[in-house]
Structure formats: C-alpha cells, structure tokens
C-alpha cells in the first residue's frame, strides 16, 4: 500500500488485528510495543453507545463494523472463521479473499468446501494446510496451499544470481508481485490463487529474476543485462541429480 502511494499511517489503519483478547485497539493496556503499532483508535463502529466499555471486541464484531475484503487466519483455532462471520463478509464483497493459514488441518480457521458454500462459490481461497479440490458448479477448483516454498528459495536464488550484498524491502515486494502475476486466476476466473507445485522450478526462476532486477535497481547488486541475469539464475539453480556410486571390488 505504501509503495503505491498510501501514507504509512493510513495503510496501518486498514489492518485490524484480533487475538484471544479481541480487537487490538489503543485503549487496551495489555499490548506489546509491536502490537500497539497496529492498534487504532476505538470508535463507535466497534463500541456503540450503551455497550459494555470493557468487553472484548471479537472477530464477528470487527467484520460487521469494517466490512473487510480479506480475512487472514493465523490463530490455530479451528473453525474461527464461522459461517456467520464469512456470510457477513461476503454480503459486502464481490470476491472475498479468505486465507485460513493455520496448521495442521484440524486447526485451520475454515474448510474450503464450507467457504465456497457460504459465499456461493465467490471466495478466493488459499490455505496453510493441504486440501483437496472443491466442486464449484460441477468443476473441480484446486485449493492453493499458501506456503513459503513459492518465494523463500526463489529469493535466495535471486540474491545468489544477482550477487546482492543484502536483501532490501523492494526485493521482497518484487518477489510477492512476481508470484501474484503468475496466479492462474489472473487468466481464468475458476483458477487457483497460486501456480501449480509442478511448475515450481519455472516459478522460482521468474521470481528470482524479479528479485535480482530489484536488487540492481536498489543499488545493492552490480549491474548485469537481463540475459546475463537469466543465465546466472539458470546456472545457480540446484538440480536434484544424485550420482550412483559402486564399490570397486578390487579395494578393501
């Protein structure tokens, strides 16, 4: 958001964090310094006149008040994204993005099949645990598993190939944007949010190129032409080939 021109303070106000004590807000005395950065003012959207001023503000109240476009689950609380919460969100968003990222499967905030049913097939889903495809209108929809395997190795590959001295914020952002550009749903409304795992090698090369280009742009890597960078990426990418060894019968 900041990269696209939004002031940092305004960008922070568009995130609403909820933990076991409810919404993180400026009037809570139990917040850590890291949490307080995201704790906004407590206005009447969350605390209508006449309500208990000390009661925690739960996820359902937050969703009702702010009408979010994205739900990200990192709670390890299975079922935290309930039917009523998801339906409330979907009532205000054409394509709600729901990311139940907790592991293992039993602790996932919601199950993709339920999410599709509660949103009439409109939800955009990626999960932390693996889930089977969901039938949507008679067609199987693959469920993307949101895993750092898509980006973490590719960033390292880009750093190595570009000879970057350090990793800048723009390099991380470039990796995220490159992965987003590869999303099948960008070309097919019924596609997945993330590329197939079978395409990971090509995905890694594409992301590594974006990372290396950003490194040069930020001045943390020496200049090389696009072709040189691509060649270095291919030369640096690990190939899982294991030689076979045999014991020489003439040795002891």
Higher-pLDDT residue of 252 and 122 is 122
Neighbours of 249 (CB within 10 A): 6
Is the predicted pLDDT of residue 250 greater than 80, yes or no? no
pLDDT at residue number 252 = 60
30, 31, 32, 34: CA torsion to nearest 10: 180
For residue 22, the cross-strand partners are: 19
Helix 226-236 to helix 200-217 angle (10° resolution) is 130
Mean pLDDT of 9-15: 88
**Rounded Cα distance, 36 and 204, in Å:** 36
pLDDT at residue number 245 = 86
State pLDDT tens for residues 114-142. 999 999 999 999 999 999 999 988 888 89
Mean pLDDT of the chain: 92
* CA distances (Å), origin 214, targets 106, 170, 200: 39, 6, 21
Question: What is the percentage of the chain residues whose pLDDT exceeds 90?
Answer: 72
Mean pLDDT of 88-93: 97
Q: pLDDT band for 1, please (50, 70, 90 cuts).
A: confident
pLDDT at residue number 125 = 95
**Rounded Cα distance, 225 and 227, in Å:** 5
Mean pLDDT of 104-117: 96
- CATH 3.40.50.300 for domain 147-252, yes or no, is no
pLDDT at residue number 202 = 96
Question: What is the percentage of the chain residues whose pLDDT exceeds 70?
Answer: 99
Q: DSSP 3-state assignment of 163? A: coil
**Rounded Cα distance, 200 and 136, in Å:** 26
DSSP 15: -
pLDDT at residue number 91 = 97
Mean pLDDT of 138-152: 91
Higher-pLDDT residue of 170 and 52 is 170
Q: Domain extents for the chain?
A: 147-252
**Rounded Cα distance, 211 and 152, in Å:** 11
pLDDT at residue number 9 = 85
pLDDT at residue number 104 = 93
């Amino acid at each position: 958001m900041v990269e696209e021109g939004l002031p940092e303070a305004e960008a922070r106000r568009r995130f609403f964090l909820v933990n076991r004590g409810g919404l993180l807000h400026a009037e809570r005395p139990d917040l850590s310094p890291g949490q307080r950065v995201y704790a906004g003012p407590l206005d009447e959207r969350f605390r209508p006149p006449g309500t208990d001023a000390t009661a925690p503000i739960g996820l359902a109240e937050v969703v009702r008040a702010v009408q979010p476009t994205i739900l990200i689950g990192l709670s390890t609380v299975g079922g935290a994204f309930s039917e009523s919460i998801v339906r409330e969100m979907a009532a205000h968003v054409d394509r709600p993005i729901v990311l139940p990222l907790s592991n293992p499967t039993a602790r996932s905030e919601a199950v993709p099949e339920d999410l599709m049913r509660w949103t009439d097939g409109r939800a955009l889903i990626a999960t932390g645990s693996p889930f089977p495809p969901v039938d949507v209108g008679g067609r199987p929809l693959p469920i993307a598993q949101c895993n750092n395997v898509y980006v973490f190795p590719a960033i390292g590959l880009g750093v190595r190939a570009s000879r970057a001295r350090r990793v800048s914020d723009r390099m991380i952002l470039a990796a995220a944007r490159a992965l987003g550009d590869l999303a099948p749903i960008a070309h097919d409304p019924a596609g997945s949010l993330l590329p197939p795992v079978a395409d990971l090698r090509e995905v890694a090369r594409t992301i590594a190129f974006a990372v290396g280009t950003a490194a040069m742009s930020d001045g943390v890597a020496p200049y090389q032409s696009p072709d040189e960078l691509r060649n270095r990426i291919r030369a640096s990418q690990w190939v899982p080939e294991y030689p076979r060894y045999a014991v020489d019968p003439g040795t002891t």
